[in-house]
Each structure stands twice: as C-alpha cells, then as structure tokens.
Amino acid sequence: MKLKKIVLRNIVFRYNLKKKELQIKSLKILLRLQFLNYISLLNVYSKLTKEGFYSKIKNTCFITSKSKGVYKKFSLSRFKVKELGGNGFLLGLKKYSW
C-alpha cells in the first residue's frame, strides 16, 4: 500500500511540475536579467518552486514500483528489462551471448 502512495504522489508531482515548468523557466530568465522589480519576481519564484524541483522526482518501475536500477528508456527495472527483453516483448533489444 505504501508503494502505491509513493507512485501516485510521484505521478501527481510530475503533472504539477509539467504545468509550472514554463513559468519557472521564464522567471529564471527574468531574474538573471535583473529587472527593476527583482524582489517581487523572487517572491513569485519562491512560491512556484516550493514543491517544483526535478530532484524530488524519483524514477520508479511502473510494473514493480522499484526505484533502484531503473532504465529511463523503458521506465522498467533491470529485472523486468531482462525478463521482457529475453522473451522478445521489448523492441530493439537483443541478447548478446558468447
């Protein structure tokens, strides 16, 4: 049950961050240019980024919900990549053997 909560929280976090991404990037640019109302821009930026950092997002396998050894290309853990790739379910993956 705890893993389901973590995965659900992660999905919601990604969705909210995607909505705010354009605003955050534009505010960063304005802050670097140092406009006249720097302090008010800084206040808006701090409110937007309170929960909006990419470092909080955790990559998890969408089948097993494991967070260790996750391939970004497939969003799968290494165990599932080995299992599904060996059976031929993942396209573009070949088994190399001696």
What is the predicted pLDDT for the residue at 1?
60
The full set of domains in the chain, from first to last, is 1-57 (no CATH), 59-98 (4.10.830.10)
Does this model's pTM top 0.85? My answer is no
Name residue 57's beta-bridge partners.
none
What is the predicted pLDDT for the residue at 52?
59
pLDDT in tens, the chain (98 residues): 666 777 787 778 778 777 777 777 777 787 778 766 777 777 777 777 666 566 667 778 878 878 888 888 888 888 888 888 888 888 887 777 65
What is the predicted pLDDT for the residue at 14?
79
